[in-house]
Amino acid sequence: MEQYKIDFINFMVRSNVLKFGSFTLKSGRQSPFFMNAGAYVTGSQLSSLGEYYAKAIHDKYGDDFDVLFGPAYKGIPLSVATVIAYKNLYNKEIRYCSNRKEAKDHGETGILLGSQVKDGDKVVIIEDVTTSGKSMEETVPILLAQAKVKIKGLMVSLNRQEKGKGEKGALSEISELYGFPTAAIVTMSEVVEVLYNKEVDGKNLIDDSIKAAIEAYYKEYGAKE
């Protein structure tokens, strides 16, 4: 496993973004783990987060894209932090773009903020985590309505590896439905591999009982990728 993935898993824990216990998800599922990207709030956290995303995007999609699109609202700071990191790490200028929840009718009008997209642009979409693919139902039509762009792929921070609308995972369903690749900085399997019976700042976050709970959860909700 790449070192930046190991570092990212520890970073999520130290940032209080990834937690273990018992959590009720929006779907109603009772999950032994929970990720809240809204807990990234400081300058240093956002700077590091942008670097992890940039490294993962570079690994998966290379430099052959023009725009990083972050759907409102959480995708806005993610896209901004990542294009800054991309420039610093790879000396490549990528434009950031996000959508407004409501179109603006004065000043800089329209539904987009940041860069506008134009015909021929190659776009990578960035999100925090995708569990159902619902956000793509809004995001993809918005992008394709603005210009004749090519969507190179989607990058999220964590692949929960659980069923989406059907038996497959949300990322696989998105890829099949829209025809572009999807990826995550890390998968939940990699999280367990790194954290099981390992201490982070003196705490063993995934002990035998938590590992058993995760395995039971995946027996019921695990995706057939």
Active site residues: 104, 106
CA distances from 59 to 4, 38, 50, 92, 155 (A): 11, 25, 14, 14, 11
The Cα–Cα gap between 40 and 45 comes to 6
Amino acid, single-letter form, for residue 56? A
